[in-house]
Structure formats: C-alpha cells, structure tokens
Structure 1
Amino acid sequence: MLDGKTIAFLVAPEGVEQVELTEPWKAVKQAGGTPRLVSTAPGQIQGFNHLDKADTFAVDDTVDDVDAASFDGLVLPGGVANPDFLRMNDNAVRFARAFFDAGKPVAAICHAPWTLVEADVVRGRTITSWPSLRTDLRNAGATWVDKEVVVCTDGPNMLVSSRKPDDLKAFCQAVTDVFGQ
C-alpha cells in the first residue's frame, strides 16, 4: 500500500504515451498514494496515443519549483518524444537523478530510460525498455534484458522498468509493490 506516499510523474509538455501515464497513475491512486504531475512547464501537457493527440492533463508542479525531497518515488512514462524532450532539460535530468541520489524508487517504461541515460544513473543496473533503446542503455553501462518487467536492486535504489504498453499490468503491479516498501 502507498498510503501517505506522494509519487512524482515526470513528463514533458508534449509526447507522453497517454496509457503509460494514466495506468500507473490509477494504480498509485488505487494503492492509496498521491500522484503528482511534474513537467518542465506549467499549464497542461498533451498526451498521445502513439502519434495521435489524445487528452490533456493539468500540471501540478514544474521541475523548477520542486525537488525530489518532496516525493517518495518517481514514475517516468514513455512515448518517443517525451523522454527525448526531458533529457534536453537540465532541471528535469537533475530531478530524475536526485531520486537515485536519495535512494528513492524509480520506475520507467518504454522509451523513458532515455532520461535515465542522460542522468547517468543506469551504469551497473539491469533494465528493460523499448527494444530500440537497447544499444543506448548498454553504451551507458546498463545490462539490457528483454523482459516484461524488471525490478533492479543493483544500486542505491529500486528501479522498475518495462518495455511497452502491453506490459502495463505487470509494470503497475511492480510499481505499487516496490513503492509500497
């Protein structure tokens, strides 16, 4: 259970795969946690169903105004553009890295590990992702595996990763299990 825990969901203003945001968000709420949408800009973020625009979501906080100390864990949804935008924003990268520095759990799905590559926190870790990130993760020092969900304990914090939307059921279960510890 996540009773009393606040979980940051870090997304760029555009490009997040909507289902990779909404399903873990629902899982955190159903487990008694409080999800907060953190972005690089205030206002609304635009969700996508693959390449098609979907719903918009209100931003709760910007990376310029909060720090990892305010949260108990971090979820990084995927989508191709989302992590690519995030990795180009120094404050977003620092925010993600701060969870590792503090030993707090982090979860990333699909293309989201690109942000973790930029934060230089995957070295020595076992992780999965969308298959096209395999080389990037290996070049960053990670051990990449092709599995539905991976819970890595080889480091300062727990790291949950999954490959794609089809893995969301297992990903959401691992997120609530790991973040509830």
Structure 2
Amino acid sequence: MADLTGTTVAFLLTDGYEDSELTSPWQAAVDAGATPVLVSPAEGNVTGEKGHSQKVDLPVSEAKAGDFDALMLPGGVGNADALRLDTDAVGFVRNFFGQHKPVGVICHGAWILADTDVLAGRRLTSFPSLQTDLRNAGATWVDEEVVVDQGLVSSRTPDDLPAFNAKLVEEMGEGKHEGQTA
C-alpha cells in the first residue's frame, strides 16, 4: 500500500450518498496516511442513504482543487443527481482533471463527470444505469470491477470497494497523471 502521508483528499458529496462508498474509501485513505476532507454544497452534516451522518468540513463554494491532492466521488442516486446540478461542484470536479490529479468515482458518483466535459476518450465503469449518459459524454463504458485510466479510478457498486480502494490508494500515491485532463 502506498504511503499517503501529507496527501489531502477531497470527498465531494451531499445528502443521499451511499454510506459505504464514503466510509470505506475514507478509511482506506486514512489507513494509508492521507487526510480526508468532506466537501459539500450542504451545511452542517450530510446523511447517507442508510443513515450514516458526517460533518461537512468545507463548503464546495469555498473549495479549491489546488488545495487537494486527489478527489473522491461516492455514489448514491440522490447525492449524484444533486451534485451534477450544482455549478460549484461541477467546476470543482473539472479543476481536478485540469490539474492532472487522481479522481476516484464509484457507482452513481460518476454521473457528475457527464456534466464536466472530461470524458472524451476516457475508459471507465459505473453503476450500469449510467452507461448511456457516460457514453454520450464521450467515454468508453465497460462492465469491470475496477477501471484505471490515467488517474481516473472507477468501480460499479459497493461490492467492488476492496479492489477500488486498493487502486485508488495506488493512483493517489502516484500523484499527477498527464493524461488526466479537462
């Protein structure tokens, strides 16, 4: 496992996220030595689909991709749908790609990528219901446990979390990827 000491990871989410898709990658980042920060358009706490509640550390309207080393986008239908409609969230995500930084997306978390203009020529996976949106945004969608494409790490469901977490930590340890572009 990569040593991520000194690495700061933004977790972008709002109410309605899939609980395990926050808590499991968060713990993997902590276990590797990274500092996770919960970024959200919501204030106070955010609550997952199954009731997990966690404090928001930073409003997305004040967050800057330059202050972080990597980005993690958990899924959850309500969370993903709300984020893609938030212009601050869309801009925040796009800036990680423009700065060539690692980005992890799982399940419905990939939905916002269809609105960021970063998918042309990229290969990824997601929850199957997103494949048409992601293909329409220029991506090659595949049905695999975990897909890595130049710093973009993607998986389908919570069942994929062990493989996803390992690859996410590995990509964060590698740092910037020139092929990770907006």
TM-score, normalized by length of structure 2? 0.93
Q: Which amino acid aligns with 1:11?
A: L
Instruction: Tell me the residue number matched to 1:94.
Output: 91
Instruction: Tell me the residue number matched to 1:3.
Output: 5
CA–CA distance in structure 2, aligned partners of residues 135 and 47 of structure 1: 26
Instruction: Tell me the residue number matched to 1:45.
Output: 46
Instruction: Tell me the residue number matched to 2:67.
Output: 70
Q: Secondary structure at the match of 2:120?
A: coil
1:122 to partner: Cα distance: 1.1
Unaligned runs of 5+ in 2: 175-182
CA–CA distance in structure 2, aligned partners of residues 146 and 163 of structure 1: 8
Instruction: Tell me the residue number matched to 2:137.
Output: 140
Instruction: Give every structure 1 segment of 4 or more consecutive aligned residues whose post-TM-superposition deviation is greater than 2 Å.
Output: none
Equivalent residue runs for 1:98-113 within 5 Å: 98-113=95-110
Instruction: Tell me the residue number matched to 2:180.
Output: none
Find out whether 1:22 has 2:23 as its counterpart: yes
What is the aligned-residue identity percentage? 53
1:121 to partner: Cα distance: 0.9
Q: Secondary structure at the match of 1:3?
A: coil
Q: Secondary structure at the match of 1:174?
A: helix
Instruction: Tell me the residue number matched to 2:168.
Output: 175
Find out whether 1:131 has 2:132 as its counterpart: no
What's the CA shift string for 1:61-81, capped at 9, x where partnerless?
A: 011112001100000000111
Instruction: Tell me the residue number matched to 2:33.
Output: 32
Q: Which amino acid aligns with 2:121?
A: G
Unaligned runs of 5+ in 1: none
Q: Which amino acid aligns with 1:174?
A: K
Instruction: Tell me the residue number matched to 1:162.
Output: 155
1:41 to partner: Cα distance: 2.3
1:48 to partner: Cα distance: 1.4
Q: Secondary structure at the match of 2:61?
A: coil
CA–CA distance in structure 2, aligned partners of residues 138 and 116 of structure 1: 11
Q: Which amino acid aligns with 1:160?
A: V
CA–CA distance in structure 2, aligned partners of residues 129 and 85 of structure 1: 17
CA–CA distance in structure 2, aligned partners of residues 90 and 111 of structure 1: 18
CA–CA distance in structure 1, aligned partners of residues 114 and 131 of structure 2: 11
Q: Secondary structure at the match of 1:20?
A: helix
